[in-house]
Chain A
Amino acid sequence: MKNRLEEIRKERGINQQELASAVEVSRQTIGSLENGRYNPSIILAFKIARYFDMRIEEIFIYEEG
Chain B
Amino acid sequence: MLCKFSSRKGISVVMIILGAAFLISGVLLRKELAMEQHSLQMLAGFLTGLGGAFFGIGSLNLIRFKIKSAEELRSEEIEQKDERNIFIQRIAYSIVAISSVIMFAVISMILLLLDFILPAIIVMSALMLNLTLYLVTYSVLKKKM
Contacts and interface: CB of A to CB of B under 8 A. Distances in A.
A32 to B, nearest CB: 6
Chain A interface category by residue count: 10 to 19
B66 interface: no
Interface in A37-58: 38, 40-41, 43-44
Interface string B72-95: 000100110111110100000000
Contacts of B75: 21
Interface string B45-83: 000000000000000000000000000000100110111
Contact of A24 (B81, B84, B85, B87): B81
Contact of B78 (A25, A32, A38, A43): A25
Residue of B81, B83, B85, B87 with most partner-chain A CB within 10 A? B83
B78 A44 contact: no
- Which of A20, A26, A40 has the largest count of B CB atoms less than 10 A from its CB? A26
A32 B81 contact: no
B78 A28 contact: no
A15 to B, nearest CB: 15
Contacts of B84: 25-26, 28-29, 32, 38
B78 A21 contact: yes
Contacts of A38: 84, 87
Contacts of B82: 25-26, 28-29
Interface of B: 75, 78-79, 81-85, 87
* Closest A-B pairs by Cβ, 9 of them: A29-B84, A26-B82, A25-B82, A26-B79, A38-B84, A41-B83, A24-B78, A29-B82, A44-B83
16 contacts: A21-B78, A24-B78, A24-B81, A25-B82, A25-B83, A26-B78, A26-B85, A28-B84, A29-B82, A29-B83, A32-B84, A38-B84, A38-B87, A40-B83, A43-B83, A44-B83
